[in-house]
Amino acid sequence: MEASGVEAAAVRAALRREGHTVVQEIERLLTITELSEMLGIPVDTLYGWRHRGQGPRGYRVGRHVRYRRASVESWLDSRLDSWAG
């Protein structure tokens, strides 16, 4: 195991001793289906936006697309409608 692997294993062991899991400590990324449900937007629309560079920034993980909640919220903030009626 490389030094970074040893360090990561030591961190995971320390977290387990404290009752944490690695998933609790690292932000879980949203799937495109979860993002679709969160925004109430069809998955196909999200894929179209992604293709045109119009939607929230995501990560390609193998064949899958994942989104950080903070990136989605930042994108939403940039889309804020300033019309006050």
The reported pLDDT for the residue numbered 6 is: 72
Domain that holds residue 49: 3-78
Number of folded domains that form the chain:
1
User: Which residue from 31, 11, 28, 32 is spatially nearest to 20, judged by alpha carbons?
Assistant: 11
Backbone angles phi, psi at 13, to 5 degrees: -65, -40
Give percent of the chain above pLDDT 70.
Answer: 79
Confidence of residue 15 (pLDDT cuts 50, 70, 90): low
83 falls within a domain: no
Asked whether residue 53 is domain-assigned, the answer is yes
Q: Which pLDDT score is estimated for 20?
A: 59
pTM of the model: 0.65
Check residue 73 and give its pLDDT.
Answer: 95
CA 43 to chain centre: 16
CATH of residue 74: 1.10.10
Residue 20 lies in a domain: yes
Instruction: Tell me, yes or no, whether 85 lies in a domain.
Output: no
